[in-house]
């Protein structure tokens, strides 16, 4: 595998924001997710649940509800009282309209996605029409006291069920009148505690399902106003509820972090009488499960512990594949750390500030596995707070450490950092070109002379950096065929000759930087690109896709390399393909041109192209067994993938120089200690 | 002499009540239980045993009401037969001999003339099958029933591992990690399995199963304490289950209520759990049931349920989970250290009961009279703890005083307590009078009172012998402390020893004038007034196991049994060995009412009984091959009314949990 001096960095204090709501379109593979900091993400279920798009949050824009409307349009509404449409191509809020009813607690789209209903603080339910380019207020429905916390349309779009405190109402859409009002805490009236209806679902048979703060999931006949079934699933609140499309399964999430599945099962074999039965409990979260979704093959839940959990329904899955395993995602699938290799600096991106750290150093050497004492401690050099309510989209530090750039939704910032001994000075570069906002990815060239700014419509701006602290817009690279989506990954070559840019349509364009011309396009592979990098010696582009496939593309020859073809012919190891998280960074070792350094959240891998690929029968993780084998045996067992799993969740890994690695780890326990205390539960034996 | 009557060994009682699930009669007035080889019928109103139905030659393994006649009962036994009883009159109607061992019995209303039994698969060890047995309608008491049809293969032997579903539509059986369900109409067999999990406590093998009476729902319990409710199990793939988890250890049994709205479960926690609406959140408990629950059954009117416990108790519980009644049989504790002692007052058999308790067990009614807490400390249900337990018990002649010895086993120095209890006529129970900490330096080997009926109060003497090489004599003294509520207490009067040998046994002569104490290989005889050593007897080789004085006509004899197989009889007047016999005597028990002495010997894997009078070296009665098991203890229990011929009964306990009562001529 090779020996490296490894910096194990644990001072990146990232705490991912909790999941606030989920929206799963009825037919479609994209899952929209909103976090408590207002960020909206789109996860692609078809591409191994890759975090495809991220729209960073905004201080004033909390998201309480998300819905997909007709034509894959995504709308969000929150306590600011506004309904916002998200532009998924340009990854920003495109237009917003005030709801006019105070903070919005809930929003639901009708079955065709042409109308949106919102539930407001003042107790009103308002209908909006989805029109091209935005939404239009249509009408108010009957207003009663009490905020509307949840909404659900009847599948035939004739009625809306609206949950409030202590009661829920059924509204007739055509007349706008309340046709039924049901008190949910009728049976427990002696208790003077209010019962919050947290979530509601309207089934096509006329049954209304509510989940409330008393830990009950109740089934009501709305026309008669009677309780059909009541299931107490928890001692604490049931916060969220989602129904499968066939209406035979329901998933609920509770504030203790447990989720439960309800299934509509026949009471007797062959009889038509069916009953809702609580079947599977899952305890994957530690905190409130604020959002659940029910896709056709999986139960999806998101909690305040920032985890997105995808629990497949085994009986719905035909063959064992990637989809058949439980998936848990805590960390973003994009880079939040950038590294100045030469200056040995790390730049950490938080939602509203940046931190620049200098790595510690040691002058001792040791054997494999030893922990070396530091002679200089890592140093927190500076903290850069972004002004305004907008969150940071992306950031980068130049390889020499002299430049720091970041971008928010509306502004782009470039700083010149100067180091004089132990003191450090930072100066904002004035007059940055105005055409740049927002930048989706920033990347400095390896000689720190220019900055590549990924922008909307597939374009990449090239800025020339000028001493002592200035910049000039050199050129804008655009794909020849045009592209509606923004560029989200950039990879410049070490010799400054080439630049690879990946857009939201997953097409990789390669530009020649010497003449600022489009060089070629990598043949399209129908999956999201999770990482790209250009080899410093051979100028081969290495591409990792979210379905864990690896490709190597020779830029000068404009074709896949022979090794890449071999990989495609032989196929990758089964265990490699079934890994949980995508490759998020690729690096190379200049000393060993055949080595490719890859990492995902749970492992670090040195891929040696000179060694044979493992077949499915060979163990993929064989490093520890290899160590015990004698030299002759070891040679026979070697294969290309040298995997190391000793690290805590890895956010970033890079090669500083020939034998020095930096690993940025984020132990889950460190995040847990930052979260509020979970609901106290008595555990047996404690 | 009366002509010898062939000795009859009759199982008298104390047999385990938890051989099979108990069955309520159709009117819920009676409870039927399998008890050893018998079927017992209890009245639920009075807890009395109304009928004792015997006839099986081996353990009864299953009882079921006849689905077509609720006044009839089927019972199956290891002897390979099924009997049909009229249980109100206690008479057998029919006996169907099936052949192989029957391990469990199920009867279905939908199956007209057959019942289901679990039998060992012929030719294979430890595999069992569920078969249906056609019960022919042929006339006559004894009928052959050889028409067997295999329903399920590879089932578990335990009756708790198989259950029949709603209206006999399907049968479900669990074994280890697998559940199999067979649908009779569709002839479809579905198998499901759970993945094994190993925890510190053990595994998650299935332990019991119950089927919902009206819906397609199966409840299974497993060794890790989880209850699974299976539904949709007619789909091989889309089956589903939910889990209820409260028990921390094995779920021993499950039962649905008659309507199926609630589920009862029990386990070693001794807590009956009622799960309502199959919900994890709505559960009720009936705790402190005393000992692990083995079986749960529900009455047909739904008003009662009953649990059978590991300590031979039946508890009747109301439908609102209130404790109603309990029927306590003989508690079989792990080690009967006290031996069998007869309470002179109640004629009850006294022995170790619950840990730290002394149970008074009535032989005639096969019920526990009461339980006396001797140790008076909280018992902690955990393995590997050294807990104080009762080791010796002695009653004074009329049962006015009770001496108990308890010890806590410590490797280096045992913690000993001698307690003396006084029978309080007002409260009708024993009251603690004196507690003596560390009466001896080492384990106490024997305790006895001086049995003198007429001199009960003032000259009552207690002797204890210990491994610390002394015997101590304890007497009552007037209490001088004015604060004390009682007038007398006990204190040590004399300490005797002999050549620094360990004292092993002690016994008083009938008139109380002589005390015999055995010191390893030697028997010493002491004057009980002056405490002078009168004489010694020795019959090497071998240490003395037990000694006793002869009674009535034979009171001049002292009998001793030694380790290396000798029974010796010494004449106290001549101080010489009168006779000896080469017998490996395990138990030597004199009858308090006659001069007979019973000795049980153990030779070549069988127990033999010898009854003799000390004045004749030739036994009066010999019963060879009494039973195959080692007999550990025996006791003579005086009869209430002397019988016509020789009025002795004696009772002994063997290593297994069955009791025998034997009649001699």
Domain assignments of chain B as residue spans, ordered by start: 12-152, 160-328, 341-583
Confidence of residue A639 (pLDDT cuts 50, 70, 90): confident
Per-residue confidence (pLDDT) for residue A83, from 0 to 100:
94
Of residues A303, A331, A307, the one with CA closest to residue A679: A303
Mutate which of B170, B224, B226, B232 to test chain A, going by most A C-beta atoms within 10 A? B232
Tell me the chain A residues in contact with residue B234 when contact means C-beta distances shorter than 8 Å: 269
pLDDT above 90 (res B343): no
pLDDT tens, position by position, B254-282: 999 998 889 999 988 889 999 988 888 78
Question: A631: exposed, middle or buried (C-beta count within 10 Å: 0-12, 13-18, 19+)?
Answer: exposed
- pLDDT level of residue B412 (50, 70, 90 thresholds): low
| pLDDT on residue A224 | 92
A231 chain-B contacts, CB cut-off 8 A: 277, 279
State the DSSP H helix or E strand holding residue A567, giving kind and residue range, or none if neither.
helix A562-570
| Mean predicted confidence (pLDDT) in A369-373 | 83
Beta-carbon separation of A278 and B183 below 8 A: no
Instruction: Give yes or no for A467 touching B (CB within 8 A).
Output: no
Is B160-328 the same fold as B12-152?
yes
pLDDT range class, residue B197, cuts 50, 70, 90: confident
Contact yes or no for B242 and A265 at CB 8 A: no
Percent with pLDDT over 70 in chain A = 97
CA separation for the pair A420, A229 (Å, rounded):
73
pLDDT of residue A189: 58
CA B252 to chain centre: 20
Residue found by looking up tokens 């959140």 in the block: B281
* Chain A residues within 8 A of B215 when measuring between CB atoms: 267-268
A279 near B CB under 8 A? yes
pLDDT tops 50 at residue B650? no
Tell me whether A264 touches chain B (CB under 8 Å): no
Greatest mean pLDDT among A568-572, B109-113, B344-348, B386-390 lies in A568-572
> pLDDT confidence of A178, banded at 50, 70, 90?
very high
Q: Does A319 touch chain B (CB under 8 A)?
A: no
Of residues B426 and A329, which shows the higher confidence score? Answer: A329
CA–CA distance from A341 to each of A346, A447, A465, A500 (Å)?
Answer: 9, 11, 18, 20
Question: B469: closest CA among B498, B448, B508, B506?
Answer: B498
Within an 8 Å CB–CB cutoff, is residue B398 touching chain A? no
CB contact under 8 A, B232 and A684: no
What's chain A's average pLDDT?
90
Homologous superfamily in CATH for domain B12-152: YVTN repeat-like/Quinoprotein amine dehydrogenase (2.130.10.10)
Put simply, the answer to whether A277 touches B240 (Cβ < 8 Å) is yes
CA distance B105 to chain A (A): 26
User: Between these two residues, A359 and A368, which has the higher pLDDT value?
Assistant: A359
Per-residue pLDDT at A159:
95
Is A231 in CB contact (< 8 Å) with chain B? yes
Asked if residues B154 and B127 have their Cβ atoms less than 8 Å apart, the reply is yes
Statement: residue B192 has pLDDT above 70: yes
| Cβ-based neighbours of B54, under 8 Å, separated by 6 or more | B37, B38
Q: Which residues of chain B have a CB within 8 Å of the CB of A215?
A: 281
Comparing A496-505, A540-549, B63-72, B447-456, the range with the smallest average pLDDT is B447-456
Work out the pLDDT band at A659, boundaries 50, 70, 90.
confident
CA A252 to mean position of chain CA atoms: 22
Residue A292 CA: distances (Å) to CA of A23, A243, A613, B553: 9, 9, 40, 92
Q: Is B283 in CB contact (< 8 Å) with chain A? A: no
Strand-pairing partners, residue A181, are A169
Of chain B residues 496-525, which have a CB less than 8 A from chain A? none
Whether residue A369 is predicted with pLDDT greater than 90 in this model: the reply is no
Lowest-pLDDT choice from A262-271, A515-524, B185-194, B648-657: B648-657
Confidence class for position A493, pLDDT limits 50, 70, 90: very high
Contact between chains at A265 and B231 (C-beta distance less than 8 A):
yes
Contact (CB<8Å) A278/B248 = no
Residues of A in contact with B241 (CB under 8 A): 279-280
Q: Which residues of B touch A324 (CB under 8 A)?
A: none
Interface check A235 vs B, CB under 8 A:
yes
Q: Do A267 and B215 touch (CB under 8 A)?
A: yes
Whether the predicted pLDDT of B471 surpasses 80: yes
Dihedral (Cα; B25, B28, B31, B32), 10-degree rounding: 10
CA distance A215 to chain B (A): 10
- Looking at CA atoms only, how far is residue B405 from chain A in angstroms? 36
Quick check: B1 pLDDT over 80? Answer: no
Q: What are the strands of the beta sheet with B38-43, ordered from one edge?
A: B23-24, B30-35, B38-43, B49-53
pLDDT greater than 60 at residue A191? yes
Interface check for A269 against chain B (CB to CB < 8 A): the answer is yes
Q: What percent of chain B has pLDDT over 90?
A: 14
B185 pLDDT higher than 80: yes
Whether the pLDDT of residue B658 is over 50: the answer is: no
Give the CB-side neighbour count of residue A133, counting CA atoms within 13 A. Answer: 0
Q: Measure the N-to-C terminal CA separation of chain B; round to a whole number of Å.
A: 9
The residue that leads in pLDDT, B35 or A121, is: A121
pLDDT, one tens digit per residue, over B150-167 is 999 889 888 999 999 888
The answer to whether the CB atoms of A281 and B243 lie below 8 A apart is: yes
Q: Does A267 touch chain B (CB under 8 A)?
A: yes
Contact at CB, B242 and A232, closer than 8 angstroms = no
Q: Which residue of B has its CA nearest to A266?
A: B232
pLDDT in tens, A138-157: 999 999 998 999 999 999 99
Most confident region among A354-358, B623-627, B629-633 by mean pLDDT: A354-358
Residues of chain B with Cβ-Cβ distance to A266 below 8 Å are: 216, 232
Q: Which CATH number fits domain B341-583: 3.40.50.720, 1.10.510.10, 2.130.10.10, 3.40.1390.30?
A: 2.130.10.10
Q: In what order do the strands lie in the sheet with A604-608?
A: A585-588, A595-599, A604-608, A641-644
Q: Give the CATH class of B160-328.
A: mainly beta
> What global pTM score does this model have?
0.81
Confidence of residue B17 (pLDDT cuts 50, 70, 90): low
Is the predicted pLDDT of residue B629 greater than 90, yes or no?
A: no
Residue A95 touches partner B, C-beta closer than 8 Å = no
Residue B603 has pLDDT above 60, yes or no: yes
**CB-based contact, A685 to chain B, within 8 Å:** yes
For residue A508, pLDDT over 90 is answered with: yes
Provide the pLDDT confidence category of residue A345 given band limits of 50, 70 and 90: very high
Q: Does residue B457 have a pLDDT over 70?
A: no
Consecutive H or E run containing A472: strand A470-477
Q: Do A266 and B279 touch (CB under 8 A)?
A: no
Q: Is A280 in contact with B231 (Cβ distance < 8 A)?
A: no
pLDDT reading at B558 higher than 90: no
Interface touch A265/B240, C-beta < 8 Å: yes
* Average pLDDT value for residue range A101-126: 93
Which residue on chain A is closest to B236 by alpha carbon? A315
Q: Compare all CA atoms of chain A with the CA of B186 and give the residue at the minimum distance.
A: A269
Per-residue confidence band for B5, with pLDDT thresholds at 50, 70 and 90: very low
**A chain contacts of residue B238, beta-carbon cutoff 8 Å:** 315
Nearest CA in chain A to B283: A232
- pLDDT value at residue B164: 92
pLDDT band for position B111 (50/70/90)?
A: confident
Number of CB pairs, chain A paired with chain B, less than 8 A apart: 55
Rounded average pLDDT over B429-446:
86
Q: State which of A115-124, B191-200, B409-418 shows the largest mean pLDDT.
A: A115-124
Lowest-confidence pick of A172-186, A335-349, B228-242, B467-481: B467-481
Chain B residues in contact with A684 (beta carbon < 8 A): 248
Of A484-498, B43-57, B211-225, B621-635, the one with minimum mean pLDDT is B621-635
Least confident range from A168-177, A183-192, A450-459, A602-611: namely A183-192
Res. B641: pLDDT tops 70: no
Choose between B381 and A153: higher pLDDT.
A153
DSSP B637: -
Could you tell me the pLDDT band of residue A304, with boundaries at 50, 70 and 90? Answer: very high
CA distance B230 to chain A (A): 9
pLDDT of residue B645: 42
**CA closest to B247 among chain A residues:** A684
Q: B166 — contact with chain A (CB < 8 Å)?
A: yes
Residue of chain B whose alpha carbon sits nearest to that of A281: B242
B238 touches chain A (CB under 8 A): yes
Of A68, A69, A100, which Cα lies nearest the Cα of A82?
Answer: A100
pLDDT digits (tens, 9 = 90+) for A48-92: 899 999 999 998 889 999 999 988 899 999 999 999 999 998 898
Write down the pLDDT at residue B661: 40
Looking at the predicted structure, is the pLDDT value of residue A553 above 80?
Answer: yes
Residues 584-643 (B) with a CB less than 8 A from some CB of A: none
Interchain CB contact of A283 with B (< 8 Å): no
């Amino acid at each position: 595998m090779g020996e490296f001096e490894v910096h194990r960095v644990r001072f990146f204090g990232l705490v991912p924001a909790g999941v606030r709501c989920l929206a799963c379109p009825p037919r479609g593979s994209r899952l929209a997710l909103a976090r408590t900091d207002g960020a909206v993400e789109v996860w692609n279920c078809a591409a191994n649940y890759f975090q495809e798009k991220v729209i960073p949050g905004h201080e004033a824009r909390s998201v309480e509800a998300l819905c997909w409307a007709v034509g894959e349009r995504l709308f969000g509404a929150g306590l600011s009282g506004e309904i916002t449409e998200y532009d998924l191509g340009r990854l920003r809020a495109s237009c917003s309209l005030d709801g006019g009813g105070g903070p919005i607690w809930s929003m639901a789209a009708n079955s065709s996605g042409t109308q949106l209903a919102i539930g407001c603080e003042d107790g009103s339910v308002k209908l909006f029409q989805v029109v091209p380019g935005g939404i239009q207020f249509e009408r108010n429905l009957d207003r009663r006291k009490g905020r509307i916390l949840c909404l659900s349309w009847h599948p035939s779009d004739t009625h809306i069920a609206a949950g409030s405190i202590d009661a829920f109402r059924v509204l007739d859409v055509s007349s706008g009148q309340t046709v039924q009002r049901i008190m949910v805490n009728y049976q427990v009236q002696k208790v003077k505690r209010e019962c919050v209806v947290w979530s509601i679902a309207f089934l096509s048979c006329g049954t209304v399902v509510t989940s409330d703060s008393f830990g009950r999931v109740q089934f009501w006949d709305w026309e008669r106003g009677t309780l059909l079934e009541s299931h107490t699933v928890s001692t604490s609140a049931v916060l969220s509820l989602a129904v499968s499309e066939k209406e035979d399964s329901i998933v609920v999430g509770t504030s203790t972090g447990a989720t439960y599945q309800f299934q509509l099962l026949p009471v007797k074999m062959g009889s038509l009488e069916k009953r809702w039965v609580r079947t599977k409990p899952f305890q994957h979260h530690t905190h409130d499960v604020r959002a659940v979704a029910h896709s056709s093959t999986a139960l999806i839940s998101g909690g305040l512990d920032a985890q997105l959990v995808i629990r497949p329904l085994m009986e719905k899955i035909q063959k064992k594949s990637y989809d058949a395993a439980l998936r848990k995602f805590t960390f973003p699938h994009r880079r939040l750390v950038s590294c100045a290799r030469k200056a040995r600096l790390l730049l950490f991106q938080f939602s509203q500030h940046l931190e620049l750290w200098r790595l510690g150093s040691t002058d001792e050497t040791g054997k494999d596995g030893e922990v070396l004492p530091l002679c200089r401690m890592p140093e927190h050099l500076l903290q850069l707070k972004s002004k305004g309510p907008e969150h940071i989209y992306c950031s980068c530090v130049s390889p020499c450490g002299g430049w720091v750039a970041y971008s928010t939704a509306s502004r782009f910032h470039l700083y010149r950092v100067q180091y004089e001994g132990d003191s450090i000075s930072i100066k904002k570069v004035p007059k940055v070109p105005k055409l740049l906002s927002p930048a989706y990815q920033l990347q400095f060239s390896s000689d720190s002379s220019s900055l590549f700014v990924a922008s909307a419509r597939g374009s990449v701006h090239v800025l020339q950096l000028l001493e002592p602290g200035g910049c000039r817009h050199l050129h804008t690279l655009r794909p020849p065929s045009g592209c509606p989506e923004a560029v989200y990954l950039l990879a410049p070559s070490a010799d400054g000759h080439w630049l690879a840019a990946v857009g939201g349509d997953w097409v990789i364009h390669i530009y020649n930087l010497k003449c600022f011309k489009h060089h070629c396009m990598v043949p399209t592979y129908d999956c999201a690109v999770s990482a790209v990098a250009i080899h410093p010696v051979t100028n081969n582009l290495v591409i990792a896709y979210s379905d864990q496939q690896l490709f190597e593309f020779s830029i000068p020859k404009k074709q896949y390399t022979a090794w890449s073809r071999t990989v495609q012919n032989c196929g990758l190891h089964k265990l490699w393909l079934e890994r949980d998280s995508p490759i998020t960074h690729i690096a190379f070792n200049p000393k060993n041109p055949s080595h490719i350094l890859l990492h995902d959240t749970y492992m670090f891998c040195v891929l040696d192209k000179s060694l044979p690929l493992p077949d499915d029968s060979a163990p993929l993780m064989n490093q520890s067994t290899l160590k015990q084998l004698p030299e002759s045996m070891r040679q026979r067992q070697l294969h290309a993938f040298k995997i190391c799993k000793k690290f805590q969740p890895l956010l970033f890994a890079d090669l500083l120089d020939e034998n020095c690695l930096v690993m940025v780890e984020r132990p889950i326990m460190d995040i847990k200690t930052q979260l509020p205390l979970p609901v106290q539960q008595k555990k047996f034996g404690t | 002499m009366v002509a010898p009557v062939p000795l009859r060994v009759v199982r008298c009682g104390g047999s385990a009540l938890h051989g099979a699930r108990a069955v309520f009669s159709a009117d819920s007035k009676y409870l039927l239980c399998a008890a050893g080889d018998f079927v017992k019928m209890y009245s639920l109103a009075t807890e009395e045993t109304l009928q004792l139905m015997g006839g099986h030659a081996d353990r009864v393994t299953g009882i079921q009401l006849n689905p077509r006649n609720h006044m009839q009962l089927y019972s199956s036994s290891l002897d390979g037969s099924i009997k049909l009883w009229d249980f109100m009159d206690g008479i057998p109607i029919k006996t169907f001999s099936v052949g192989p061992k029957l391990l469990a019995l199920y009867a279905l209303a939908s199956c007209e003339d057959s019942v289901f039994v679990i039998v060992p698969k012929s030719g294979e060890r430890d595999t069992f099958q569920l078969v249906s047995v056609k019960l022919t309608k042929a006339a006559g008491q004894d009928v052959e029933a050889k028409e067997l049809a295999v329903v399920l293969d590879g089932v578990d032997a335990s009756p708790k591992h198989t259950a029949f579903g709603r209206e006999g539509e399907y049968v479900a059986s669990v074994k280890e990690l697998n559940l199999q369900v067979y649908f009779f109409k569709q002839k479809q067999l579905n198998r499901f399995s759970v993945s094994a999990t190993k925890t510190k406590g053990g595994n998650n093998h299935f332990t019991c199963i119950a089927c919902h009476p009206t819906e397609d729902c199966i409840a299974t319990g497993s060794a890790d304490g989880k209850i699974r409710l299976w539904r949709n199990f007619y789909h091989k793939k889309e089956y589903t289950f939910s889990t209820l988890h409260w028990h921390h250890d094995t779920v021993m049994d499950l039962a649905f209520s008659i309507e199926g709205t609630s589920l009862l479960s029990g386990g070693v926690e001794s807590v009956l759990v009622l799960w309502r609406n199959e919900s994890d959140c709505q559960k009720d408990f009936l705790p402190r049931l005393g000992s692990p629950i083995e079986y749960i059954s529900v009455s047909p009117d739904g008003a009662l349920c009953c649990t059978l416990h590991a300590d031979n108790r039946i508890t009747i519980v109301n439908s609102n989970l209130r404790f109603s009644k309990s029927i306590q049989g003989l508690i079989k504790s792990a080690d009967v250290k006290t031996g069998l002692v007869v309470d002179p007052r109640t004629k009850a058999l006294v022995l170790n009961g619950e840990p730290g308790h002394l149970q008074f067990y009535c032989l005639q009614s096969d019920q526990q009279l009461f339980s006396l807490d001797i140790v008076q400390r909280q018992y902690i249900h955990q393995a590997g703890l050294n807990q104080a337990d009762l080791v010796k018990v002695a009653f004074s002649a009329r049962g006015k005083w009770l001496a108990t010895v308890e010890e806590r086993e410590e490797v280096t120095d045992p913690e000993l307590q001698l307690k003396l209890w006084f029978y309080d006529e007002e409260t009708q129970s024993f009251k603690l009078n004196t507690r003596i900490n560390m009466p001896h330096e080492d384990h106490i080997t024997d305790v006895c009172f001086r049995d003198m009926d007429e001199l009960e109060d003032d000259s009552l003497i207690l002797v204890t012998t210990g491994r610390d090489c002394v015997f101590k004599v304890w007497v009552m003294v007037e209490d001088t402390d004015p604060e004390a509520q009682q007038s007398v207490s006990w204190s040590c009067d004399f300490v005797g020893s002999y050549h620094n040998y360990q004292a092993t046994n002690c016994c008083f002569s009938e008139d109380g004038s002589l005390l015999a104490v055995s010191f390893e290989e030697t028997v010493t005889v002491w004057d009980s007034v002056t405490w002078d050593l009168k004489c010694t007897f020795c019959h090497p080789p071998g240490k003395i196991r037990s000694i006793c004085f002869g009674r009535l006509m034979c009171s001049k004899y002292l009998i001793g049994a030694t380790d290396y197989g000798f029974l010796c009889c010494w004449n106290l007047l001549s101080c010489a060995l009168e006779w000896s016999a080469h017998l490996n005597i395990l138990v030597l028990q004199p009858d308090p009412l006659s001069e007979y002495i019973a000795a049980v010997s153990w030779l070549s894997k069988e127990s033999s009984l010898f009854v003799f009078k000390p004045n004749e070296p030739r036994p009066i009665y010999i019963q060879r091959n009494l039973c195959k098991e080692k007999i550990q203890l025996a006791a003579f229990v005086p009869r209430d009314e002397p019988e016509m011929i020789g009025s002795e009964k004696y009772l002994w306990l063997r290593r297994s949990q069955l009791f025998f009562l034997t009649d001699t001529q």
